[in-house]
Chains A and B, each alone.
Chain A
Amino acid sequence: MIDRRLVQNFDWGLIGITLAISLLGIMTLFSAVTAGKSVPDEAIYLKQIVWYCVGFTAMTCSFLFNYKALDRWAIAIYCLAVLLLLLVPFLGKYAGGSKRWLMVGPVSFQPSEFAKLAVIIILARYYSRAASSKGLSFRDLFAPFLLSIAPFIFIVLQPDLGTAMMIFLTAASISLFVKIERRTFIYLMSGGAVTIPLVWFFLKDYQKQRILTFLNPDHDPLGAGYHIIQSKIAIGSGMISGKGFLKGTQSALSFLPEQHTDFIFSVFAEEWGFIGSLVLLLLFLMLVVWGFKITYGCRDTFGTILSFGITAMLSWEVFVNIGMAMGLMPVVGVTLPFISYGGSSIVVTMISIGILLNISMRRFLFE
Chain B
Amino acid sequence: MSKFIRTTDSEWFRLRLSVVMTLVTAAFVVIFLRMFYLQILEGKEFRRLSENNCIRLQTILPQRGFVFDRNGALLVDNRPSFNLSIIPDDAKPVEPVIDILSRYLNVPAEELMAKVRNIKGASSFRPVLLKQDIGRDALALIEAHKYELPGISVDVQPRRYYLHRHSAAHLIGYLSEINSSELKGGKYTEYKSGDFIGKFGIEREFEKYLKGKRGGRQVEVNAAGQVVRVLENINSEPGNNIYLTIDQRLQRKAEELLKDKAGAVIAMEPSSGQILAMASSPAFDPNEFVCGLTHDEWNDLISQPNRPMENKAIKGEYPPASTYKIVTALAALEEKVIDINTSFYCPGYLKHGNRVFMCWKKGGHGSVNVVRALAESCDVFFYNVGQRLDIDKLAWYAKGCGLGAPTGIGLEQESEGLIPSSIWKKKRFGQPWSSGETLSAVIGQGYNLATPVQMLVLTSAIANGGKRVKPYVMKRIETPGGQNIINGETEIVGNLPVSQNTLNIVKKGLWEVVNKDYGTARIARPGEGIEISGKTGTAQIVGRKKNETGYERKLPDHFKPHAWFVSYAPSSDPKIAISVIIEHGEHGSSAAGPIARELVKCYLNPEAVVDDNNPDTKVVSDAFYDEY
Q: A278-B35, A300-B2, A367-B2 are in contact. Are A249 and B50 (CB under 8 A)?
A: yes
Q: Is the CB of B50 within 8 A of A234?
A: yes
Q: Is the CB of A249 within 8 A of B35?
A: no
Give the contacts of B142-188 with A (CB-CB under 8 A): none
- CB proximity of A4 to chain B, nearest CB, Å: 20
Q: Is the CB of A229 within 8 A of B55?
A: yes
Task: Report the separation of the CA atoms of residues A233 and B13 in the bound assembly, to the nearest whole angstrom.
Answer: 42
Given contacts A233-B46, A249-B50, A326-B31, 18 further A-B contacts (CB under 8 A): A177-B13, A220-B216, A221-B232, A222-B59, A225-B232, A226-B216, A229-B55, A235-B35, A240-B39, A240-B43, A255-B53, A269-B39, A274-B43, A277-B39, A302-B1, A308-B20, A315-B27, A322-B31
Residues of B within 8 A of A234 (CB): 50
Q: Is the CB of A220 within 8 A of B7?
A: no
- Closest A residue to B217 by beta carbon equals A221
Task: Report the separation of the CA atoms of residues A367 and B1 in the bound assembly, to the nearest whole angstrom.
Answer: 10
Q: A300-B1, A304-B10, A322-B31 are in contact. Are A236 and B38 (CB under 8 A)?
A: yes
Give the contacts of B47-88 with A (CB-CB under 8 A): 47, 49-51, 53, 55, 57, 59
Q: Mark A230-241, 1 if CB is under 8 A from B, else 0.
A: 101111111110
Q: Is the CB of A236 within 8 A of B1?
A: no
Residues of B within 8 A of A230 (CB): 55
Interface 9-residue window, one of A138-146, A189-197, A289-297? A289-297
Q: Mark B10-32, 1 if CB is under 8 A from A, else 0.
A: 10111011001100110110111
- CB proximity of A122 to chain B, nearest CB, Å: 15
Residues of B within 8 A of A239 (CB): 39-40, 43-44, 46-47
User: B residues touching A (Cβ–Cβ < 8 Å)?
Assistant: 1-5, 7-8, 10, 12-14, 16-17, 20-21, 24-25, 27-28, 30-32, 34-36, 38-40, 42-47, 49-51, 53, 55, 57, 59, 123, 125, 190, 214-218, 231-232, 234
Q: A239-B39, A239-B40, A249-B51 are in contact. Are A221 and B46 (CB under 8 A)?
A: no
A/B interface sample: 12 pairs, CB < 8 A: A134-B7, A221-B232, A221-B234, A226-B218, A235-B39, A236-B47, A239-B39, A253-B123, A281-B32, A284-B28, A296-B14, A326-B31
Task: Report the separation of the CA atoms of residues A237 and B31 in the bound assembly, to the nearest whole angstrom.
Answer: 17
Task: Report the separation of the CA atoms of residues A298 and B14 in the bound assembly, to the nearest whole angstrom.
Answer: 10
Give the contacts of A52-76 with B (CB-CB under 8 A): 68, 71
Q: Is the CB of B35 within 8 A of A277?
A: yes
Residues of B within 8 A of A236 (CB): 38-39, 42-43, 45-47, 50
Interface size class of A (residues with CB under 8 A): 35 or more
Q: Is the CB of B21 within 8 A of A292?
A: yes
Task: Report the separation of the CA atoms of residues A284 and B123 in the bound assembly, to the nearest whole angstrom.
Answer: 35
Secondary structure of the B side of the interface? helix
Give the contacts of A22-73 with B (CB-CB under 8 A): 68, 71
Residues of B within 8 A of A270 (CB): 50
Task: Report the separation of the CA atoms of residues A242 and B162 in the bound assembly, to the nearest whole angstrom.
Answer: 56
User: A residues touching B (Cβ–Cβ < 8 Å)?
Assistant: 68, 71, 128-129, 131-134, 177, 179, 213, 220-222, 225-226, 229-230, 232-240, 249-250, 253-255, 269-270, 273-274, 277-278, 281, 284-285, 288-289, 292, 295-296, 298-302, 304, 308, 312, 315, 319, 322-323, 326, 328, 366-367
Secondary structure of the A side of the interface? helix
Q: Is the CB of B17 within 8 A of A292?
A: yes
Residues of B within 8 A of A255 (CB): 53, 55
Residues of B within 8 A of A328 (CB): 30-31, 34
Partner of A295 from the list B2, B17, B53 (CB cut-off 8 Å) is B17
Residues of B within 8 A of A133 (CB): 7-8, 12
Q: Top 9 nearest A-B pairs by Cβ distance?
A: A236-B46, A221-B216, A237-B50, A239-B43, A221-B234, A274-B39, A236-B38, A222-B216, A237-B47
Q: Is the CB of B5 within 8 A of A132?
A: yes
- CB proximity of A204 to chain B, nearest CB, Å: 11
Residues of B within 8 A of A269 (CB): 35, 39
Task: Report the separation of the CA atoms of residues A221 and B234 in the bound assembly, to the nearest whole angstrom.
Answer: 7
Residues of B within 8 A of A131 (CB): 5, 7-8
Residues of A within 8 A of B34 (CB): 323, 326, 328
- CB proximity of B26 to chain A, nearest CB, Å: 11
Task: Report the separation of the CA atoms of residues A237 and B44 in the bound assembly, to the nearest whole angstrom.
Answer: 7
Residues of A within 8 A of B32 (CB): 278, 281
Partner of B27 from the list A238, A249, A296, A319 (CB cut-off 8 Å) is A319
